[in-house]
Amino acid sequence: MKAIAERFINADVTGAVITVPAHFDHRQRQETMNAAKLAGLKVLRLINEPTAAAIAYRQKDDLEKKTILIFDLGGGTFDVSIVKVNTALKVIAVSGHNHLGGQDFDQLIMQFVKEEYRKQNNKEFPTHSTKLLNRLRKNCQEAKHLLSFREQPVTINIDFNGEEGFNCVLTREKLNEMIEPMLKGSLDVVDQALQQANLKEKSIDLVLLIGGSTRIPLMQALLGKKFGKTKLRNRINPDEAVALGASILAHDLKIYPDNIGENLTLRNGKNPSNNDDLSEITPLSIGLQLRGQRFLKIIEKGTKYPCRATKSLATAYDNQIGSFSGIYEGERANVDNNKKFGEIKLELENKKAKRGYQLEVLFEIDINGILHVTKTEVEAGKTAEIEIKYDGKSYKDADIKRIVEEAGSHKREDEEFENMVRKRDDFEDDIYVKKRSIENSSNDQTALEIVNRYLAWSDKLPQNIADYDRQLNEFKKEIAPYLP
């Protein structure tokens, strides 16, 4: 793409505004930034595709003081964003699906053609040739495109390299029958975004149709029925709206090179406020792994960025030499149910500190949606920054709706987990009080061995919460003879 642009303008390209699907997580955004760097590009801004489309439409429509739903159904991904427009663009909800789009519809048509071939020839469609399958896919795509613009049936022709060819007819009715379940499923994602924004259909002023698959008449009909036909907008080529918005933003960034993301003028004569001129939101909560696999949310789901948040932490043991934490994204109390995308390790300067030694963590999301994490040893001032590491596992792309729904359905389970972890912390606090008393008096080794034995038991995070009370009572009886 960089080379194509350079040939077109006959000049070097050094920077770019890059668009990504709205539901991309931080790992995917960082990988996009890394790819741009490898291509020799400075990323001026990483922006969500629906937001870029809203910028493009702002040049065509009067969007001021309106609530816009951006429906972006492309070739392979699907995004829904809800944006409030005043003098600024503020994204208030994001939802999506990373495996829904034109390619899925192509697969359905291909299956239809294969089935028709089997019926007519009493044998299976040949699948050994990659070239033949590619021709089949191309012809099915063309049939889909034609049926988006006309009602007459389309004939799909397949040439078997000199052998007798095969033809089958696809009607718009048959196409609608095949793809309707998927299209109706996309409305569930719309409902998820509306719920996230706490809005009803009637609160949406305009629906922007983005992505080539929004040309499908049935998709437009379903959206028209849900929101009203007069609210639908497709005045800009749906394949080009995102790129057009990115180019408009790239043009305006040159006006404000020192404060990207602030004082952004969108070429319509209106000057946004100094803050939140192009605000986007985090699709899922982001946080830190604590001891016992507990998830500490630092930045909540739905937070507008750029943003920053700090939390005070403390060491869990005496003489702790370091602090290691995974960085996770999700909504569950146990990090095992969330998605890890980074980790941070801080080697402590003071290796003789007692339990409760103060640490601080800073989470900051920049204008491009990239997360930066800093952990600090408060007393010594020593810091560590996030280091993204991957273990080679092929994580599935975040299905935001599923993650949020799972968190809701497992609310009781998560509350029980939180209660158990807090119970363990309370148990250890009582143990350490007795330990300090012994250390300040006799420093009896037998007593300290008793203390360490109970701490070792709790360190394994026993799952029966009632065991903590029983163990604490036994500890108090066993340690009593050694207390001053």
pLDDT one digit per residue (tens) for the chain, 484 residues: 888 888 888 888 888 999 988 777 777 888 888 888 888 888 888 888 888 888 888 877 667 788 999 999 988 888 899 988 877 778 888 888 777 889 999 999 999 999 999 998 898 888 888 888 998 999 999 999 999 998 999 999 888 766 667 899 999 999 999 999 999 999 999 998 999 889 999 999 999 999 999 999 999 999 999 999 999 998 888 889 999 988 888 887 753 333 333 222 333 333 333 333 556 778 789 999 999 889 999 999 888 888 889 999 999 889 999 999 999 999 999 999 998 888 899 999 999 888 889 999 999 888 877 888 999 999 889 898 875 543 333 334 446 667 777 888 888 888 988 899 889 989 989 999 888 888 888 778 888 899 999 999 988 888 888 898 999 999 999 988 888 7
Total domain count for the chain?
2
32-35: which pairs have CB atoms within 8 A and are 24 or more residues apart?
33/368, 33/370
Q: Is the peptide bond before 283 cis (omega within 30 degrees of 0)?
A: no
- Which residue from 223, 204, 190 is spatially nearest to 97, judged by alpha carbons? 190
Alpha-helical (H) ranges within 148-240 are: 172-197, 217-227
- What whole-number distance in Å separates Cα of residue 30 and Cα of residue 379? 32
Rounded CA-CA distance 45/366 in Å is 10
Distances in whole angstroms, Cα of residue 49 to Cα of each of 241, 250, 431: 9, 14, 54
Count CB-CB contacts under 10 A for residue 293. 17
Q: What are the Cα distances from residue 271, in Å, to 86, 87, 264, 265, 274?
A: 11, 7, 7, 5, 9
Residue ranges making up the domain that contains 450: 411-482
Closest CA to 201 of 111, 11, 67, 106: 67
> Closest Cα to residue 355, out of 320, 312, 313?
320
Q: What's the token pair of residue 166? A: 């095969």
Q: Alpha-carbon distance 396 to 385, whole Å?
A: 26
The CATH number for 326's domain is 2.60.34.10
Q: Is residue 403 part of a domain?
A: yes
> Do both 421 and 403 map to the same domain?
no
Residue corresponding to tokens 């409902």 = 191
Same domain, 319 and 430: no
Neighbours of 278 (CB within 10 A): 24
Cα separation, 356 vs 293, in Å, equals 18
Phi, psi of 347 (to 5 degrees): -85, 125
> For residue 411, what pLDDT is reported?
87
Task: Round to whole Å and give the CA distance between 314 and 429.
Answer: 13
182's CB contacts (< 8 A; 6+ apart) are 100, 104, 105, 108
> Domain ends where: 407, 430, 461?
407
341 and 443 assigned to the same domain = no
Q: Say how many C-beta atoms besides its own lie within 10 A of residue 320's C-beta.
A: 18
**301 and 314 co-located in one domain:** yes
Q: Is 100 helix (H, G, I), strand (E, B) or coil?
A: coil
Q: What's the number of CA atoms in the CB half-sphere (13 Å) around residue 412?
A: 1
Please indicate, yes or no, if residue 318 is contained in any of the structural domains: yes
Does residue 110 fall inside a structural domain? no
* Beta-sheet strands, E only, within 318-370: 322-329, 339-347, 358-365
Cα angle: 316, vertex 320, 326; to 5 degrees: 65
Pair 332, 384 in one domain = yes
Encoded amino acid at 338, one letter: N
| Residue 394 within a domain | yes
CA distances for 234 relative to 11, 35, 53, 61, 83, angstroms: 33, 32, 11, 11, 17
CB 211 within 8 A of CB 18: no
Q: What's phi and psi for 62, nearest 5 deg? A: -85, 95
User: Which pLDDT belongs to residue 273?
Assistant: 31
How many other CB atoms sit within 10 Å of the CB of residue 32? 19
- Pairing status of strand 206-210 against strand 232-233: parallel
Does some domain include residue 63?
no
Q: Token pair of 475, please?
A: 């500890």
In the block, residue with structure tokens 């030694």 = 357
| C-beta atoms surrounding 86 within 10 Å | 14
Query: What distance lies between CA 46 and its chain's CA centroid?
Result: 14
Predicted structure pTM score: 0.63
Whether 403 and 416 map to the same domain: the answer is no
**Is 367 a domain residue?**
yes
Rounded CA-CA distance 68/199 in Å is 11
Last residue of a domain, one of 407, 433, 468: 407
Q: What angle do CA 211, 212, 216 make, to 5 degrees?
A: 115
Q: Are residues 380 and 403 in the same domain?
A: yes
Do 356 and 343 lie in one domain? The reply is yes
Residue 88 and residue 58 in contact, taking contact as beta carbons nearer than 8 Å: no
| Cα distance between residue 167 and residue 181, in whole Å | 26
* Shared-domain flag, residues 382 and 436: no
Same domain, 399 and 415: no
Q: Find out whether 166 and 117 touch, Cβ atoms under 8 Å.
A: yes
Q: What pLDDT, on a 0 to 100 scale, did the predictor assign at position 283?
A: 79
Residue 395 within a domain:
yes
Structure-token pair, residue 3: 């080379």
Tokens 């955004």 -> residue: 29
Give rounded-to-5 percent helix, strand, coil for the chain. 45, 25, 30
d(Cα 205, Cα 144) in Å, to the nearest integer?
30
Q: Kindly state whether residues 357 and 391 are assigned to the same domain.
A: yes
| One domain, residues 441 and 358 | no
Does 207 fall in a domain? no
Q: Can you tell me the distance from the alpha carbon of 89 to that of 85, in angstroms, rounded to the nearest whole number?
A: 5
Domain finish residue from 364, 383, 407? 407
